[in-house]
Structure 1
Amino acid sequence: MAEHRTMQRAALLDAARSLLSEGGTEALTFPALAERTGLARSSVYEYFRSRAAVVEELCAVDFPVWAAEVEDAMRRADTPQAKIEAYVRQQLALVGDRRHRAVVAISAGELDAAAREKIRAAHGGLVSLVVDALRALGHQQPRLTAVLLQGVVDAAVRRLELGAAEDPGPITEATVAMALRGVRL
């Protein structure tokens, strides 16, 4: 029974990712989740009490995976600058991933305070990954610099998301160049 519930919950989250990446937050409805998973609408409420609860669960499940991919890319880099480059490149490489598209859709939507706080906390964890590399480069305020660096990455992400027909290569290269020149003392 517990295994069945776990599988159903995973199916609902997968359906939520698809709905969010295809149609944004407006597409994430309980009737749509029920249709995608073959469950009765009332059954969806047995797993999640609200859309915000679905969003919170997606954040809890997907952000750590995304952050682990960024952290793994950084771990393979030798120098602080290479770690910063990996931090930027890996995030931009994840833009096409369905989990990322869902997170972007979530971030753009109207969410309750608890869901927004989970997103903020997850982003804070992502920013924390680059603080040590910035400290190693001699930054006196590495946390502030990391937040600003993430702002550059976020701007590039928005550009990539909005310019689907645009070649992502030049955007990535420009972002990496800006990040590396911007973090040098």
Structure 2
Amino acid sequence: MAEHRTMQRAALLDAARALLSDGGTEALNFPALAERTGLARSSVYEYFRSRAAVVEELCAVDFPVWAAEVEAAMARADSPEGRIEAYVRQQLALVGDRRHRAVVAISASELDAGARERIRAAHGGLVALIVEALEDLGHEEPMLAAMLLQGIVDSAVRRIELGAAEDPARITEAAVSMALRGVLR
């Protein structure tokens, strides 16, 4: 029974990723989740109490995976500058990943305060990865620089997600250049 519930929950999360990725927040609703998974709509409520709960679970499941991928990319770099570049590049490479696109599709305002705080804490762990590289560079204010650097990444993510006129590779190169020039002064 527990294994069945685990499989159903995973199927619901996969369906939620697909709905968010393909249709944005309006596409994520319990009737659509039920249809995608073959469950009765009332059964979906047995797993999640709200859309926000679905999104919170997606973040709890997917964010550690993204952070591990960013951390692995940074670990392969052989200098603080290389770690900064890997931090930016890997996050932007994840934009096309359905897990990333699903979470980006949800506005933080749809989540309750507790969910927003848990997501913010997880995101803070990602930012902490870059603080060490900035400290290794001798940056005077590594936390401030890390937050601003993440702002560059977030802006590039939004630009790519919007399907901007620029090629995503061009956006990535511009973000990497801005990040490195900004932290290296």
For Structure 1 versus Structure 2, the TM-score category normalised by the shorter chain is over 0.9
In 2, the alpha carbon distance for the partners of 1:164 and 1:96 equals 14
Unaligned runs of 5+ in 2: none
- Give the stretch that moved more between structures: 23-32 or 66-75: 23-32
1:116 paired with 2:116, answer yes
Q: Is the 8 A contact 1:160 1:168 kept in 2?
A: yes
Q: For 2:106, what is the secondary structure of its paired residue?
A: helix
Contact 1:156 1:172 in 2 (8 A): yes
Q: Tell whether the 8 Å contact from 2:108 to 2:116 is kept in structure 1 after alignment.
A: no
Count, aligned residues: 185
- TM-score, normalized by length of structure 2? 0.96
1:5-46 deviation line (CA, Å, top 9, x unaligned): 100000000000011111111111111100000000111111
- TM-fit CA distance, 1:109: 5.7
Q: Are residue 44 (structure 1) and residue 44 (structure 2) matched?
A: yes
Q: Distance in 2 between matches of 1:164 and 1:134?
A: 30
Match of 2:12 in 1: 12
Alpha-carbon offset, residue 91 of structure 1: 0.4
C-alpha displacement of 1:49: 1.2
Equivalent residue of 2:107, what SS?
helix
8 A Cα contact 1:25 1:109, kept in partner:
no
Partner in structure 2 of residue 60 of structure 1: 60
Identity of aligned residues (%): 83
Match runs of 1:1-185 below 5 Å = 1-107=1-107, 110-163=110-163, 166-185=166-185
Q: How high is the TM-score relative to the length of structure 1?
A: 0.96
Distance in structure 1 (CA, Å) of the matches to 2:107 and 2:72: 24
C-alpha contact 1:130 1:146 (8 A) present in aligned 2: yes
Shift of residue 165, structure 1, vs aligned partner = 5.8
CA contact (8 A) 2:52 2:110 kept: no
